[in-house]
Structure 1
Amino acid sequence: MEHVVQSRIPTKQSALLGVESSNQTKAEAFTKTFLKNSLPKMKEAVIEDMMAHKAVVLEFKRPKKVGKKKKAKGLNAKERRQLKIFQLKSEHQKYELFLPLHELWKRYIVDKCNGLKPESNPQMIQQKLLKADFHGAVLTVVKSKCPSYVGLTGILVQEMKRIFKIITKEDKLKVIPKRNSVFSVEIKDFVTHIYGSKFELRSSERSAKKFKVKGTIDL
């Protein structure tokens, strides 16, 4: 097989790697044996002809592993607390900064409740509101087991599983527990009473939950 190209490893590299180049006779014998085993149905003459016109690369390709890719691991609750991801900086605790959010929320909630018309079905509105996102709403505590919370009013800036965080007009950040508290929200001509116990879920979880309809809205 005159077409086999020999390239010998230099002496220094050969000693370093612990290998040595094969001579032409050994290389030809290996190539013939390899091709005969790899192409058992092909005649030797055809292989010889193919080798005379094509360059064949003899290398091993590792098969790709087929399997599920691991999802990137997110931060756990402890890590989020340590990084203070959910803490609002003092310079951002300004009522005025959240007024644009409140205007967006008013448009969002009216659209969600199909316009909030006087003839709207109260039960339908109630179901919509129970699953709504209240970030940006102005909440007022009307009842609470802790009297010091009653009367507090502010824009909801953060909702967690068991608490509401609101910014008051005095630029104070107040943390209100949902349990044992009742909040009111005014939307156009509607006054909604939110019972905190019904909201002891994250807003994302609440949107998928089925609620039993009870009298939680005053018109």
Structure 2
Amino acid sequence: MDESLVRAAVPRELVEVLGVEPRSSSQAAAFTEAFLKNSLLPSPRDDLQTMLTHKAVILDYARPKRERAKRISKKAKGLTARQKRAMRIFQIKPEQQRYELFLPLHDLWRRYVVDLCGGLKPTSSPQFVAQKLLKADFHGAVITVVRSKCPSYVGTTGILVQELKHVFRIITADDRLKVIPKRNSVFSVEINGFVSYIYGSRFEHRASERSAKKFKVRGTMDL
């Protein structure tokens, strides 16, 4: 409120009409203080004199906070290794251990490798094919054990049906499931006339891990 308006004198032409007497400045100030004291609610922080001095009243208003809905992301949790072993997920039943059942898988693998190696033309470099096969998925490939520290494994041939971190599981032509350790073994893979050799010790990774691994070029390799 502007204090000059409160203390302004009543115009002379209105004194007789209204029948009032103009008040002095001290009387006007006392009236204003009494009016504000009776009209305004008491403030716990500011007294009346402070309000009159600053001539500004700040009304406290806090916008109510909206409660944010908590987003609970539910991620699908897979089975643990112990649960998989208990459920025997990776075990092939005896009635399914038949060579002819996996021949369509072998045909798919051959087409997959041909596309991976850009057609496998006669002019393709053997080193190029070998580098591609290092990171390839071998499920469905026909592999043969050509060298091993265990002589009983040498000559074993079959379709690779399961590749684990340390072993290959193959189905032989006589419908038998063989488990061949990767370490201390060398395998051969033939595709469209190209014969590549796999050193099992370099394949001691899961197929998913091997696809992203960088292999170092080595001149020779022992079992």
Quickly name the TM-score band, shorter chain normalised.
0.5 to 0.7
Q: What is residue 116 of structure 2 aligned with on the other side?
A: 112
Alignment of 1:158 onto 2:156 = no
User: Which residue among 139, 149, 153 is the counterpart of 1:145?
Assistant: 149
Between the aligned partners of 2:213 and 2:200, the Cα distance in structure 1 is 15
Q: CA RMSD in A?
A: 2.2
Q: Quick one: distance in 1 between partners of 2:201 and 2:155?
A: 19
- The equivalent residue for 1:197 is 201
User: Does 1:93 pair with 2:97?
Assistant: yes
Structure number with bigger Rg: 2
Are positions 1:65 and 2:70 aligned together?
Answer: yes
Give the Cα–Cα distance (whole angstroms) in 1 for the partners of residues 74 and 206 of structure 2: 27
What whole-Å deviation, never above 9, does each CA across 1:32-56 have from its counterpart, x for those lacking one? xxxxxxxx79xxxxxxxxxxxxxxx
1:178 corresponds in structure 2 to 182
| Match in the other structure for 1:74 | 78
- For 1:147 and 1:101, the matched residues in 2 are separated by 29
Of residues 134, 139, 146, the one that matches 1:135 is 139
Name structure 2 gaps, 5 residues minimum. 1-60
- Aligned equivalents of 1:185 and 1:73: distance in 2? 37
> Segments of 4+ in structure 1 off by > 3 A?
none
SS of match in other structure, 1:101: helix
Question: Sequence identity, in percent?
Answer: 69
CA displacement at 1:213 relative to structure 2: 2.6
1:43-72 residue CA offsets vs partner (Å, 9 max, x unmatched): xxxxxxxxxxxxxxxxxx964114x62423
Matched, 1:103 2:107: yes
Q: Residue 127 of structure 1 contacts residue 213 of structure 1 at CA under 8 Å; is this kept in 2? A: no
Paired residues in the alignment total 159
Deviations, residues 138-188 of structure 1 (Å, cap 9, x unaligned): 010001111111110000000000010000001000000000000001111
CA distance in 2 between counterparts of 1:162 and 1:148 reads 18
Letter in 1 for 2:127: Q
Q: Which runs of 5+ in 1 are unaligned?
A: 1-39, 42-60
CA contact (8 A) 1:135 1:159 kept: yes
In structure 2, how many angstroms separate the alpha carbons of the residues matched to 1:151 and 1:214?
26
CA distance in 2, matches of 1:214, 1:193: 14
Question: What is the TM-score with the length of structure 1 in the denominator?
Answer: 0.68
